[in-house]
Amino acid sequence: MKRNLLLTFLMVFALSAVLAGCGGNGGAKTGNAGGTDTANTGGRGGSGGDKLSGKVTFLTNRTDMIGKEYDEYVKRFNEKYPDIKIEFEASQTDYNQQAKVRMASGELPDLMFVPDIPNSDLPKYFAPLDDIQFSSELTFKDFKSYEGKLYGITTGNSTSGIVYNKKVFADAGITETPKTWDEFLAACEKIKQNGVIPLASNFKDKWPLGNWVFDMPRIIENNKGFPNERINMDAPFSMDNGYGKAMMLLKTLADKGYLEKDINSTNWEQSKKDIASGKMGMYFLGNWVINQVIGVGAESDNIGFFPLPYDNSGELRAALSPDFFYAVNKNSKNLEATKTFLKWMIEESGYEDFAGFISPLKGRESKLTQLAEFQATGVELQEGEPDDPKVIEISNKAQIDLPAIAQEFVLAKDPQTVLDKWNKAWAKAKKDLGY
């Protein structure tokens, strides 16, 4: 009887061992990671580059490119490096959130984009990329660097401005793109009179308001460090600084009826089709949207791009901003192969033209006609500064979400109260954190 009892308990334990399997796996993985470091250094010494092999996994947010453009990239890449296998992993809708969960669990892909974490945390997860040789200087090199080492490389840069349907402008009798704010309002009026919605704000979705509050304030102030200088202010939002002025531009358009009929009920996907077909006239967004509008059926020749004139001075400035940054997992089993693929993506893939970006490499001309048109206006492109982690910390502590504040500002009867409310939250968070 005793033996039987023992047997049953053994069975029970066998069952629980199945359950505990996950834990066991985790342990094995960390062991692996330790081992690969040595394997890698060995490989680096022996191989001359072309012999690189291994598997590279890439967690991407461009799920639409999987099975299409990415397949074509891999084909071209493999002509050069036949032994490196590239695998794409589609991210869920919220890349940032998913990446952070995987950082917490230590299961990162080889190549990924940098989620929004302070730069001081970069060395904990990512490998330094200073040893990759590019054909020309990189833009935004100091953005994702820490203690002089480069951890993130921009996937492409963009600028923001007015993307417009040329036929809508011509039909409304506008022959020249507006150079001042008053001219811009006059153009909106003409378009409205013509029965077309002048500007698609996509107000409801909140994120399309980003350019108004992230780019415009520093452009209006003509000070690239303006967002970071908030660290010295107790009341960063006022009617006569960049923030108030930028939000006032949007509010003016809303109050004059130049935005969608009901700004609380907008439809992003539909708006692209409406811009393409001429039911709506303009977007104020990054240049990435140009290809998306063309993608839903607009003729490329019919879509134009010009900088938004924010005042009546006639000077034109626009923000240059980096998109996602590539980063390489520091525990990657195939570090060299991953770096090789990253270099190829930047230099040869042509991804920036597909995505409608300005190349991450300095001095490379874009193949997009709209970007050339934009440059021809004589606009000054202002590079941004990396965010000060302290400013982010205060913003998070005060739960400040700039596009949401812009929404409140536009809908409020008295916008000053909105600014006062968030100034108070800012000041309190700043004091609590001791900055």
Applying CB under 8 A, the residues found at the interface with other proteins are 1, 4-5, 7-8, 11-12, 15-16, 19, 94, 97, 100, 103-104, 117, 121, 124, 204-206, 260-265, 267, 270, 395-397, 399, 401, 404, 407-408, 411-412
Report which residue type is found at 86. Answer: I
Minimum separation from the CB atom of position 110 to other proteins (A):
19
Which amino acid does the sequence have at 343? K
Residue among 132 and 231 whose Cβ is closer to other proteins = 231
List, in sequence order, every residue forming a beta bridge with 199; answer none if it has no partner: 282
DSSP-assigned states of every residue in 301-328: GGEEEE----SSS---EEEEEE--EEEE
Query: Measured between alpha carbons, how far is residue 418 from residues 79, 207, 233, 413 in Å?
Result: 58, 19, 17, 10
Do residues 164 and 229 touch, judged by C-beta distance below 8 A? no
Q: Which is closer to other proteins, CB of 266 or CB of 382?
A: 266
Residue 14 CB, nearest distance to other proteins (Å)?
Answer: 11
In angstroms, rounded to a whole number, what is the distance separating the alpha carbons of residues 389 and 113?
19
Closer Cβ to other proteins, 132 or 296, answer by number = 296
Provide the token pair at 11: 């069975």
Dihedral sign for Cα atoms in the order 299, 207, 320, 309: positive
Residue 426 tokens, joined: 């800012």
* Pairing of β 157-165 and β 303-306: antiparallel
Rounded least distance, CB 207 to other proteins, Å: 9
Residues in the chain: 435
Closer by beta carbon to other proteins, 316 or else 405? 405
CA distance linking residue 268 with residue 203, whole number of Å:
9
Q: Give least dist CB 139 to other proteins, A.
A: 27
Nearest residue to 213 (alpha-carbon basis) of 404, 353, 18: 404
Q: Is 66 exposed, middle or buried (0-12, 13-18, 19+ CB in 10 A)?
A: middle
DSSP bridge pairs for 322: 157
Q: Which is nearer to other proteins, 107 or 301 (CB)?
A: 107
The amino acid occupying position 419 is: L
Q: Which is nearer to other proteins, 17 or 170 (CB)?
A: 17
**Is the Cβ of residue 134 or residue 268 nearer to other proteins in the bound state?**
268
Do residues 159 and 175 make contact, with C-beta atoms less than 8 angstroms apart? no
Give, in degrees to the nearest 5, the angle at Cα 231 between 205 and 233: 95
Amino acid at 310: Y
Question: What is the 8-class DSSP label of residue 294?
Answer: H
Strand partners, 197: 280
Nearest-angstrom CA–CA distance, 221 and 230: 13
The CB-of-433 to other proteins minimum distance in angstroms stands at 11
